[in-house]
Amino acid sequence: MAYPYAWDYRFYYPVFYWSFFLLMLVTDLLFKKYRIGQEKEEKAMEAEVKATIEDAQKLMVNSVAAIGRMIDEKDNYTRQHSQRVADYSRLIAENLKSFHPIEKEVDQIYRSALLHDIGKIAIPDAILKKTSRLTDEEYAIMKTHPVWGKKILAGLSFLPQADYGASYHHERYDGKGYPEGIRTDDLPYIVRIISAADALDAMNSNRCYRKQCSRNYIISEFEKGSGTQFDPEVAETVIYLIEEGKIEIPEGENA
């Protein structure tokens, strides 16, 4: 301590030490503030990208659905058919006992059902609008609409499983449907729901070849078709929804 630099050492070292400490503290705080700001910007950007993707997805769904509605409008007997099938499909999915889809899965089922008849855009109007019985050749052409639906919708990454309804809504639980004859466990649940909803609306609507079916008749058809045309649990759910009045069907005398 007797040396001249002792005072400098005792004075400047603490000053330097605490100045360095404060500098590091301020730097750390500024860096953390920068990281927080960056994270907020990244989250805002992610939210913006997500919103953009969702908007694009909605636009594409609405565009394709508009085509589906255009097809429905071609035939007075099937107007709003796709929308009703989508509504029925959502209701069935939400009331199944063993299958409990999350909201995202219900939305996928709804979208797929909304687009299930998109393949009819490739079917000539003369066949779609024909009021008399189709010939065997015309019926064979009509049966190609699921194939066309698959070609239109398959591979759309922004609409996962959207092609299921369009491709397989005429398949049966017992494998006797078309176009591929898929059966039981190989038949996706989404298809089992949509095919039942499609059949339900077909019976619950006026068609060129018959009047709207009665409540009892529709229930009996689902009872008879359980395990053959329809998945048993899906058929049971449809019957439950009709009997509870969640699906309204008039008490008529029509077959």
Model pLDDT for residues 53-91, shown as the tens digit of each residue: 778 777 777 776 777 677 677 665 666 888 899 999 999
Q: What is the mean pLDDT of the chain?
A: 83
For residue 192, tell me if it sits in a domain. yes
Has 120 been annotated as catalytic?
yes
Best CA proximity match to 225, nearest among 212, 238, 206, 208? 238
| Number of domains making up the chain | 1
| Residue of 50, 74, 120, 130 with catalytic role | 120
Q: Which residue is it, tokens 């060129």?
A: 208
In a domain, 255, yes or no: no
pLDDT band (50, 70, 90) for residue 40: confident
CATH of residue 65: 1.10.3210.10
Residue 87 sits in which domain range?
5-243
- The reported pTM is 0.74
Give Cα separations from 242 to 88, 101, 189, 217, 251 (angstroms): 11, 21, 21, 12, 11
Average pLDDT over residues 166-183: 91
Average pLDDT over residues 190-204: 94
Does the residue 250 lie in any domain? no
Q: How far apart are CA 234 and CA 113, in angstroms?
A: 15
**pLDDT grade for 167, boundaries at 50, 70 and 90:** very high
Residue 254 lies in a domain: no
**Residue, of 125 and 201, whose pLDDT is higher:** 201
